[in-house]
Amino acid sequence: MDVFKVSRSGPLKGEIEVGGAKNAALPLLAATLLTDEAVTLRNVPDLSDIRFMVEILSHVGSEVENPEPGVWKLKAAELTHIAPYELVRKMRASVCLLGPLTARLRKAEVSIPGGCVIGPRPIDLHLKGLAKLNCEVEITNGYVHVDASKIQGGPVFLGGRSGSTVTGTANIVMAAVLAPGTTRIECAACEPEVVDLCNLLVKMGAKIEGIGSPELTIEGVEKLHGCEHSVIADRIEAGTFIVAAAITRGDVTVKGIPPNLLGAFLDKLEESGVPLKIEGDNIRVLPYEGSLKPVDCITLPYPGFPTDLQAQLCALMTQVEGISIITERIYPNRFMHVPELQRMGADIAIEGPSAIVKGASKLSGAPVMASDLRASAALILAAFAATGETWIQRIYHLDRGYERFEQKLAGLGAKIERLSDKDMPKELLEA
Ligand code: EPU
């Protein structure tokens, strides 16, 4: 298995390009099932999650081509309505097949994704939404069975305990675009990735109003057609690079990221004192003297501070003098990075849904374990600020969502190497 060896790095310097957004690309790929014509997607990141999704789409009958890096052409002429457990269990986002299969075939059988380390991830809102569209929804033997023979547009409220649902909104929008009548979704997720999906669907011939707002009105159409579409930039990858620059006091320009996608995050970093210069779609992080200021931050649905950047902010705040309070409102247990950061010397206490980070800590390299995608990134960022070597195991989590991560950061001068666990000192290997 691959591992990362990371040493104290920085200041990082140079320019770094942001790739296509994983969390936009996954529902966009699923949306290609809504037409029997070919849909070409560009700027698709090369990630293991994307390869899982393509595997599932090809299993349900899509003809899949990858004519050049970053470009996928999919044609779903003949489809089957069953997405089996063996494939769905590999990736939660495969739940995004529910909407398109329901819309196109008027029936779906999709396995319910398994547990997730970042906490409970129910799909009750997806199911409630489908029921509101007059579908019969039943769970048996670990599968969601949808009978959509009488599907009909209608009012759908998608708010849950933590606000709306990103992939739930994607599913209901995808089901509604081919449902007779008008669907009005209230409390729709406003994440840029949902906007990107709606924009693709409009290109395919869907009628959607209110895109980007919590109220979407969808007029069902009989058929959608093929088109070409380029995936939006990955705001979480961009945010991770910005933290890499800030934690090393570097001078880095993150290119190709519309700053409005990162409003709350950039605001929090500026509040902390990170000097930022924004020019068009480029964000330059400038070096600074002295300590940053601690922050009080709460993760919220877009346009609030994204949960997917919470772990990275935690890593940065370990290097800031004073007490930061980082509260997780989307996934209150998403603190798997904390015990590993503690092993590197961070002073962090978990109080309910909050991490209380006391800085600045002198971090030192240690063997640590990546637990999920964003936690992996946080450990690498902390390792840039730590003395000695940090060995990070289970980096397949990182490969799910960051494309050529170590190569891109090494281009800025980061000391990060991908090695095999056979290269690790034996005494550091996990049992
Ligand atoms: N929720 C419900 N019921 C539902 C669905 C969600 O109660 O039916 C709750 C969840 O438990 C959570 C909140 O609503 O507390 C938000 O969950 P959401 O459904 O929005 O999350 P998701 O669609 O499963 C996407 C991203 C996640 C990201 C979240 C939140 C994709 C493929 N995944 O997940 O990305 O953290 O939105 O922004 O788009 C990641 O990239 O590392 C990642 C985990």
Q: Which of 22, 23, 400 to mutate to test the pocket of ligand 1 (most atoms within 8 A of CB)?
A: 23
Banded model confidence at residue 183, pLDDT cuts 50, 70, 90: very high
CA of 11 from ligand 1 middle (Å) equals 34
8 has pLDDT over 80: yes
CA of 236 from ligand 1 middle (Å) equals 14
- Closest atom of ligand 1 to CA, residue 123: 8
Of 173, 202, 230, which one is at a domain's C-terminal end?
230
Residue nearest to atom 11 of ligand 1 (CA): 121
- Closest atom of ligand 1 to CA, residue 170: 23
Residue nearest to atom 40 of ligand 1 (CA): 308
- 43 a known binding residue? no
431 has pLDDT over 60: no
- 124 a known binding residue? yes
- CATH number, domain of 367, equals 3.65.10.10
Q: Is the CB of 95 under 6 A from ligand 1?
A: no
- 36 a known binding residue? no
> In this structure, which amino acid lies at residue 211?
I
Q: Average pLDDT of 185-201? A: 98
Q: Are residues 237 and 334 in the same domain?
A: yes
Q: Average pLDDT of 258-272? A: 98
Rounded CA separation 266/286 (Å):
13
Banded model confidence at residue 121, pLDDT cuts 50, 70, 90: confident
Q: Are residues 186 and 247 in the same domain?
A: no
Of 214, 230, 246, which one is at a domain's C-terminal end?
230
Q: Average pLDDT of 69-93? A: 92
Q: Is the CB of 243 under 6 A from ligand 1?
A: no
pLDDT tens digits, 288-337: 999 999 999 999 999 999 999 999 999 999 999 999 999 999 998 899 99
Domain that holds residue 240: 2-19+233-429
Report pLDDT for 275.
98
Q: Which of 88, 235, 330, 331 to mutate to test the pocket of ligand 1 (most atoms within 8 A of CB)?
A: 330
Banded model confidence at residue 430, pLDDT cuts 50, 70, 90: low
Catalytic residue chosen out of the listed positions 96, 116, 135, 314: 116
Q: Is the CB of 263 under 6 A from ligand 1?
A: no
Q: Is the CB of 422 under 6 A from ligand 1?
A: no
Report pLDDT for 181.
98
- 216 a known binding residue? no
Report pLDDT for 379.
97
428 has pLDDT over 80: no
- Closest atom of ligand 1 to CA, residue 116: 44
- 123 a known binding residue? yes
In the chain, the percentage of residues whose pLDDT exceeds 90 is 90
Q: Are residues 53 and 125 in the same domain?
A: yes
Catalytic site residue 116?
Answer: yes
Of 230, 259, 275, which one is at a domain's C-terminal end?
230
Q: Are residues 226 and 255 in the same domain?
A: no
Q: Are residues 357 and 374 in the same domain?
A: yes
pLDDT tens digits, 203-253: 999 999 999 999 999 999 999 999 999 999 999 999 999 999 999 999 999
119 has pLDDT over 90: no
Q: Are residues 182 and 315 in the same domain?
A: no
Q: Is the CB of 166 under 6 A from ligand 1?
A: yes
Q: Are residues 209 and 133 in the same domain?
A: yes
Banded model confidence at residue 176, pLDDT cuts 50, 70, 90: very high
Q: Is the CB of 123 under 6 A from ligand 1?
A: yes
Q: Is the CB of 56 under 6 A from ligand 1?
A: no
Residue pointed to by tokens 């190569």:
407
- 374 a known binding residue? no
To the question of pTM greater than 0.95 for the whole model, the response is yes
358 has pLDDT over 70: yes
Counted domains in the chain: 2
Report pLDDT for 115.
64
Q: Are residues 11 and 70 in the same domain?
A: no
Q: Are residues 59 and 157 in the same domain?
A: yes
CA of 166 from ligand 1 middle (Å) equals 6
Report pLDDT for 426.
77
Lowest-confidence range among 68-72, 86-90, 148-152, 357-361? 86-90
b/e sequence 43-73, b meaning 16+ C-beta within 10 Å: bbbebebbebbbebbebbebeeeeeeebebb
CA of 278 from ligand 1 middle (Å) equals 29
Q: Are residues 302 and 373 in the same domain?
A: yes
Report pLDDT for 113.
82
CA of 265 from ligand 1 middle (Å) equals 18
Q: Is the CB of 43 under 6 A from ligand 1?
A: no
Q: Are residues 201 and 329 in the same domain?
A: no
Q: Average pLDDT of 38-66? A: 96
In the chain, the percentage of residues whose pLDDT exceeds 70 is 99
Report pLDDT for 252.
98
- 125 a known binding residue? yes
CA of 310 from ligand 1 middle (Å) equals 14
pLDDT tens digits, 13-37: 999 999 999 999 999 999 999 999 9
Say if residues 224 and 177 touch (Cβ distance below 8 Å). yes
Q: Are residues 243 and 291 in the same domain?
A: yes
